[in-house]
Amino acid sequence: MTRLTRLAELRRLLPLTAAGLFLLALTVPVWRITFDAPQYVETLVVELYAHPRIGGDFEEVAMLNKYVGFYYPDPVYADPNYAVHEKAVAVPEWILGPVAFVGLAATAAVVALLPGGRIERGLLALFTGAVAVLGSMAVIIQYRLYQAGHTLDPDAPLNGVDGFTPPLLGNYQVANIDGTAWVGPGGYMLVAAVVALAVAVALRDSPATIADVPALARNGWNRFRDRVRRRGREDDRSRGNRPSDSDERPGLDVETDGGSDPRAPDARGSDGRGPPTGGGRS
């Protein structure tokens, strides 16, 4: 089998796909927040990239944030596309976003080229590493959001606002401003990349190619259906369900010697004698 043919294997093709998704995620917003405020008729949107850049209506939102003393972060080692407030929270790790994504993409490409016998361990390590890296990034971002929301500028016009923690994903409210945080296009790409790696791990011992996808899908559906049926039968037994009375009626499975039905009434005459036999005289 040539190297080009081996790349058609799903356990190799999926890591390469994930590598492309990691790189594409750098070109689009990874995270987005929408804001609704009484003074704005339309919903405002702020989009954040994996590198120090903010898109959308970030200037209008900055005007809203300054009333409560909440400012965009300071990347420290890079010049972002917005004015950094002197009291903004420092987030020097923001410049490491491209490093993490490019590193994951490069590692995925290397693992896809590993020979058989090594790719199995490589896929497990790659998937574990990707989850660890992206999970750590999410934890750091959530901490920075907590830090920014609890170090509000005391000189802000609305200095009576209590500290708050904007969620990484979800809704929140500050004064009369409603915010909703969710993943952007880049975030969906990251999720798709992790899913692709998870599938590659599941197929790490299989040489199945992309041509085998329909058969794998059918077999997977059949296994899922059989599992559901088995679980249903186990649940019935655990609840103590018993067969119906008709199934337990005695005599249903009695074997006969080919004569009359043993369940039929006893065919005797009115005098108590049995039926006449063919060998007797009438």
Residue 241's pLDDT band (cuts 50, 70, 90): low
Position 4 scores a pLDDT of 66
* Region for residue 251 given its phi and psi (left: phi exceeds 0; alpha: psi -120 to 50; beta: otherwise): left
Position 246 scores a pLDDT of 45
Average pLDDT over the chain, rounded to an integer: 84
Position 177 scores a pLDDT of 87
pTM of the full structure: 0.77
Sign of the alpha-carbon torsion through 48, 49, 52, 53 = negative
Q: Which of 142-146, 154-158, 238-242 has the lowest mean pLDDT?
A: 238-242
Number of C-beta neighbours around residue 103 at 10 A: 14
Provide the CA 23 distance to its chain's centre, in angstroms.
20
Query: Is the pLDDT reported for residue 270 higher than 50?
Result: no
Instruction: Please indicate whether residue 193 or residue 3 has the higher confidence score (pLDDT).
Output: 193
Residue 250's pLDDT band (cuts 50, 70, 90): very low
Q: What is the 3-state secondary structure (H, E, C) of 175-217?
A: CCEEEEEEECHHHHHHHHHHHHHHHHHHCCCCCCEHHHHHHHH
Query: Is the pLDDT reported for residue 68 higher than 50?
Result: yes
Percent of the chain whose predicted confidence (pLDDT) is above 90: 59
Residue 55's pLDDT band (cuts 50, 70, 90): very high
Query: Is the pLDDT reported for residue 256 higher than 60?
Result: no
Residue 277 burial (10 A CB sphere; 0-12, 13-18, 19+): exposed
**Average pLDDT of the segment spanning 120-143:** 97
Q: Which of 32-41, 51-60, 240-249 has the lowest mean pLDDT?
A: 240-249
Query: Is the pLDDT reported for residue 235 higher than 60?
Result: yes
Position 1 scores a pLDDT of 52
